Amino acid sequence: VHLAESGGGSVQVGGSLRLSCVVSGNTYNSYCMGWFRQAPGKEREGVGAIIGDGSPVYADSVKGRFTISQDNAKNTLYLQMDSLKPEDTAMYYCAVDGPTVVYGARWCPSHNEEDEFNYWGRGTQVTVSS
């Protein structure tokens, strides 16, 4: 499975960017996906993910500003980022893995469970300046 992010760049405070992540070599009919980021000198953190029932979950720091979506027909994941802040500056990564079934229900990891994702892109840089 190969992931390629794009769409990063430099933007001023309050601006918007949309990141894309193209998934290839996918052997799953569907997959779990998440977005993560790592700022210089900091640990990688979860931004958001789409969990087993198909609903998105977000880190508190981006809730209401970021939107995750996926287009399975295009094998592409998206992260729409609005009202960007300087603290959003980071390298952004997408990650995917196949879903599992837990107690008969489809299960996908959340953005707080990055160790559950086995396939990662190389990242795209987002810089927000004031």
Average pLDDT over residues 29-49: 93
Structure tokens at 112: 């707080």
Contact 26, 1 (CB under 8 A): yes
**26 exposed, middle or buried (CB, 10 Å; 0-12, 13-18, 19+)?**
middle
Average pLDDT along the chain = 93
The residues near 29 (Cβ < 8 Å, ≥ 6 apart) are: none
Q: In what order do the strands lie in the sheet with 76-81?
A: 2-6, 17-24, 76-81, 66-71
**Is the pLDDT score of 26 beyond 80?**
no
Residue-level pLDDT at 36: 98
Gap between the Cα atoms of 40 and 31, Å rounded: 29
The dihedral sign for the CA sequence 112, 115, 116, 119 = positive
C-alpha triplet 81, 84, 86: angle, nearest 5°: 135
Residue-level pLDDT at 90: 98
